[in-house]
Chains A and B, each alone.
Chain A
Amino acid sequence: MKTFMERQTFIVLHILAIVTIIGSMLTGFRISLVSQDWLAAISVLLPQGAIHTWHLGFAVGLTLLVIAYTGYSLRAPFRSYPSIYHKIINYLGYISICLIVLSGWAVWANFHSHYARSIHQVAMWLMVSYFVLHAWIYILQKGRGVFGAILPKRLKLMHGAITLCLVILGLFIHTFTVNTSHQLEVQTMADTVFIEIDGKATEAQWQSAPTYTVTTIGGANFDNGSTEVSIKALANQYETYFLISWQDKSKSTNHLPLLKTDNGWQVQENGFYRFDERTFYEDKFAVMLSDGCEIAGDNTYHSGSKPIKNKPKNWHGKGYHASLDGKVRDLWHWKAVRTNDMYLADDNFIGPPSEHLKGKRRYSAGYQADGKESGAYVMNWQWYSSQGVSPKRLPMDPQSHQAVLPWFGSKPYQHQQDTYPIGTLLPSVLYRSNRFEGDRADVRARGEWHDGRWTLELVRKHNTQSKYDIPLQTGTCMWVSAFDHAQIAHTRHIKAIKLRYAL
């Protein structure tokens, strides 16, 4: 005799499904909002903070429910007699849940994540449609009677046991998935081998080094917000070298240029006022290092306009980077204009949220620069205002067109000498010296753009002894992000890439 799923068992699974789906949708919308501005209107309804960890938790829960429900249904299906309308809508639900689960795990696993992300987003809207067409129509049809149908009445010990088993199993899988990582083999080379940091990668050692390729998603200006990043690593006894290459159709060095207009000098911008410039900005690349490997940059990303308690709101509503566990994560920030001609990446770090300085409009939480002895780039305006600026310096040779204005190839701005015609462009970046000195200059780097691709070489000592740097050793986890003429809208990947040294 065929057995059927008890109604109360179905109700328990149904409640768990409602919780996980609503949780997935709310956290998923918050994640989408980072790269989809048109969702900003619903920001006020969404949770803030370390949202990726929660999203993964709900994903684990939903996956377990799909498996449990499918397995249970094969043994003892649930008998119900919905109308034809609800039968059809239920199929929409089954399809959207399966698509969401499969595409979500594909993004997590870096398996065709470029396509998987698109499918995940379509599936999310299918799920929203299902929610409305299923739940709302039932509420319209049955009113308060709907609660009688979906709330449990006679729970048995077995139902509590099922829920407990799913939660415990879910927590176990969540702990495992949050910390899993990809792996990058760091190839050993002799101390005598010379690798020139020139962004050309002509050395034979690079040809034989293993490559790890990760698809990064969610950035501005890239095709569908995505670019594939290939990474190689070499190490001798003292230093680790990285060769990183990514697709970028355009070489962008037009960094916030100053334009002479009828009303004086204006900074060319499209979002810089709220610190989210996406048009007049240089290309950049970031590498984050941590001795922990949790998803979302070892849990250092906090989404939303005010994700950190007792800290100010941000201007763009996208969130902050900060280490709420108090540990330091290393961040190398290569900038095509501001640091490339210094042959350096800006050695920064992500630490605990910094003190809010009342005199500064921008608060960057835990994202800060390492200390330096001297040397810097500075912006070529005396004070930034969206209404207009006064340049700090003018080129000695008014005809010169450079992305960077050297301090000693320029002179202080004087209004009387400003005879530049309307339409003149000036560089916004001034090099006070040819490089940083000190802790901030630990990472040598050079990028070259050729034929739709940036190639970046980086090198740093395994251990700089700086408290703001992470040692490079087996087990160190890294994340990479590309910026296509965008200030903060970078691409990203979920799982860490763990370094494995043969030394």
Chain B
Amino acid sequence: MIQRLLISAFIIAVFIGICLVPPAQPKLSQHPRFTKITQDGKTLSPWQGPWACVHDTQNQLLWEVKTDNETIHDGYWTYSWFNGAQGKENFGDCYFEPNRCDTQDLIRRTNEQALCGLTQWRLPSAQELSSLIQDPASPAYPYIANDFFVHIKKGDYWSADHSQPLSKQYRQGGDGATAINFHFGKSYTLPYRNAAFVMLVADLPAANTSPQLSRRELITQQKQE
């Protein structure tokens, strides 16, 4: 009887011990391609924020992250396509310019600001931009990694590819530029005067040319995580 009591006590103790182990929390895991970067150029884990840029390890680029704070990076602002020589000036809508906005305005202001420590911001190529297209996790989301690229609208985003022939209905306007539509995940050629959204991109400096960010430093930081 004593032996049975001891075995029973042991079994109960094991059960209580199992129950007292704190439950494991959901696990954080790194995204295979994207890393959040703060305004100061520091890397964040996927569950941290806020972040101003996204490091794209596939293309070795830094993407501008849109906001809803009415700064120059607000995701609601639209721009006509203009590169200083070609395109249509000031045909988009924003609050940060005395006149209306074009893509050159956002590039200039972002470089002046040195977003995420970089000053070589530019329009992405159509290939770079279309590499972001992915199926949405929910019908409410656009065709992009919505967890890293927040405030992306279901609309057209300008690329740098220009002097493209327009489709029949726009042909009277001459050439246009390629835009990627994140509502459908497709690319279109649009007249320069169209108001479309913009997400800028910057090439990562090879090493140590930027005080905060370099390709080598980012890779090292990711390995440490």
Contacts and interface: CB of A to CB of B under 8 A. Distances in A.
B70 A370 contact: no
A84 interface: no
B11 to A, nearest CB: 10
Contacts of B15: 45
B85 interface: no
A45 B25 contact: no
B1 A41 contact: no
Interface string B80-117: 00000000000000000000000000000000000000
B208 interface: no
Interface string B1-35: 10011001000000100111101111101110010
A378 B76 CA distance: 14
A355 B137 contact: yes
Interface string A334-362: 00000000000000000000110111110
Contacts of B25: 313, 315
A277 interface: no
B36 to A, nearest CB: 7
Contact of A359 (B4, B36, B50, B71): B36
A484 to B, nearest CB: 26
A432 B18 CA distance: 48
Nearest to B54: A359
B174 interface: no
B36 A44 contact: no
A360 B26 contact: no
Interface stretch (A102-110, A135-143, A238-246): A135-143
A143 B2 CA distance: 11
A357 B135 CA distance: 12
A357 B36 CA distance: 14
B219 interface: no
Contacts of B137: 354-355, 357
A345 to B, nearest CB: 15
Contacts of A383: 49-50
A485 interface: no
A363 B23 CA distance: 18
B18 A44 contact: yes
Contacts, number: 85
A41 B147 contact: no
A40 interface: yes
A23 interface: no
Contacts of A357: 137, 145-147
Among B1, B8, B49, B135, the most chain A Cβ lie within 10 Å of the Cβ of B49
A440 B140 CA distance: 9
A301 interface: no
Interface string A28-61: 0000000000001111110000000000000000
Contacts of B71: 412
A392 interface: yes
A177 interface: no
A382 B68 CA distance: 9
Looking at chain A, what size class is its interface with the partner chain? 35 or more
A413 B69 CA distance: 8
Interface in A126-149: 136, 139-141, 143
Interface string A100-127: 0000000000000000000000000000
Contacts of A361: 26, 47
A41 B20 contact: yes
A472 B21 CA distance: 48
Nearest to B4: A140
Contacts of A368: 138-140
A359 B140 contact: no
B5 A140 contact: yes
A439 interface: yes
Interface in B144-172: 145-148, 154
A313 B26 contact: yes
A412 B68 CA distance: 9
Interface of B: 1, 4-5, 8, 15, 18-21, 23-27, 29-31, 34, 36, 46-47, 49-50, 68-71, 135, 137-140, 145-148, 154
22 contacts: A41-B20, A43-B23, A44-B19, A44-B23, A45-B15, A45-B18, A139-B4, A140-B4, A140-B5, A312-B26, A355-B137, A357-B137, A358-B31, A358-B46, A359-B148, A361-B26, A363-B26, A370-B139, A378-B68, A382-B69, A392-B69, A412-B71
Given A361-B26, A361-B47, 15 more contacts: A40-B23, A45-B19, A139-B8, A313-B25, A314-B26, A354-B138, A358-B29, A358-B147, A359-B31, A359-B47, A369-B140, A373-B154, A383-B50, A432-B68, A439-B139
